[in-house]
Amino acid sequence: MPVVYLVVPCYNEEEVLPETVKRLTAKLSSMISDGKASEESRMLFVDDGSRDRTWELIEQFSAENTYVGGIKLSHNRGHQNALLAGLMSAKEHCDCAISLDADLQDDIEVLDQFVEKYTEGCEVVYGVRSSRKTDTAFKRNTARSYYKLMKTLGVEIVYDHADYRLMGSKALEALSEYKEVNLFLRGIVPLIGFRSDYVYYERHERFAGESKYPLRKMLKFALDGVTSFSVKPLRIIANLGITICLLSIIGLIYGLVSFIIGSSVAGWTSLICSVWFLGGLQMLCIGIVGVYVGKIYSETKHRPRYTVEKTIIND
């Protein structure tokens, strides 16, 4: 029976944590008593530098419940980094780790299916949403177009899969070799390879508290996904530049010809338009190049992606 670790990133989740611990404990103990998971299986709550009582709660629960473990990051590093911190700690103790959100949006009833697939030999199991009923129309449409965009840009990501997934110890080991700072796990995991499968589930509403992903963070995350995995935007710019150069040569010839045959007019409008247009275009291009340069900058610093302050794991 595999040792299963449930890795749960938590940022200001004091409102949901008691319920999450209760439900996950019930689920995990039933999996253990059904012989699906080993007695040494644990839940690992990663406190991502919360400002509320999240860490106190984790400490308190771990004292009274052997299944509860926790790690405390010294500062808020964002969902992806918190998740990575949890997975890397879990890697030392488990056969497979399943990552899920603290807010009970990911249906925990399918946890057995993840483990079953792992026992059948899958190293990576993706949780895929069977529908997007609980999303707003805006979220649904933007998500759909985002997946399409990623596909055209040549990034391999699993449709409607977020971060509800199982990874075996081999996959985790491979993941630890990816040193990038601009972390987008959904893009990295498919690159790791290994045999993989899917588990379908219904995503619920958040149990309590509010989303820690406002639109601003979501946009940044989406942009990170593109710029961390695809250099196609750079190529598009280059192509655009070439096209515009060719067009301007034609324009130049046209201008020369009309000058020679003496029909040229002092076209202030066209002149000012092209100045503005080209100025804007250049700025846009420089901006996009800048995004990549910024990434190179942060990658070359090789800063640690998180710092673990404390760890509790009951044996």
* Chain positions contacting ligand UDP, by CB under 6 A: 9-11, 13, 48, 76, 78-79, 82, 101-103, 105, 206, 211-213
Using CB distances below 5 to 8 A depending on partner kind, what does residue 213 bind out of Mg ion, ligand UDP, none?
A: ligand UDP
CB contact at 8 A, 110 and 19: no
Pick 48 or 101: Cβ nearer Mg ion: 101
Three-state DSSP string of 195-226: CEEEEEECCCCCCCCCCCCCHHHHHHHHHHHH
- Residue 186, φ and ψ in degrees, nearest 5: -60, -30
CB of 124 to Mg ion, least distance (A): 22
Centre a 10 Å sphere on the Cβ of residue 313 and count the other Cβ atoms it contains: 18
Question: Exactly one of 48, 103, 163, 224 binds Mg ion (CB under 5 A); which one?
Answer: 103
Question: Exactly one of 20, 54, 80, 105 binds Mg ion (CB under 5 A); which one?
Answer: 105
Three-state DSSP string of 247-301: HHHHHHHHHHHHHHCCCCCCCHHHHHHHHHHHHHHHHHHHHHHHHHHHHHHHHHC
> How do 124-129 and 96-99 pair as beta strands?
unpaired
DSSP secondary structure letters along 96-157 = EEEE--TTS-S-GGGHHHHHHHHHTT-SEEEEEES--TTS-HHHHHHHHHHHHHHHHTT---
CB of 105 to ligand UDP, least distance (A): 5
Pick 6 or 167: Cβ nearer ligand UDP: 6
CB of 106 to Mg ion, least distance (A): 8
- Tokens for 269? 């409008």
Using CB distances below 5 to 8 A depending on partner kind, what does residue 192 bind out of ligand UDP, Mg ion, none?
A: none
Tell me which stretch binds Mg ion (CB under 5 A): 97-105, 121-129, 130-138, 275-283: 97-105
Dist CA 218 CA 203 (whole Å): 18
20 binds Mg ion (CB under 5 A): no
Pick 52 or 59: Cβ nearer ligand UDP: 52
Using CB distances below 5 to 8 A depending on partner kind, what does residue 186 bind out of ligand UDP, Mg ion, none?
A: none
Dist CA 109 CA 142 (whole Å): 28
Using CB distances below 5 to 8 A depending on partner kind, what does residue 168 bind out of ligand UDP, Mg ion, none?
A: none
CB of 206 to ligand UDP, least distance (A): 6
Using CB distances below 5 to 8 A depending on partner kind, what does residue 76 bind out of Mg ion, ligand UDP, none?
A: ligand UDP
Residues near Mg ion (CB under 5 A): 101, 103, 105
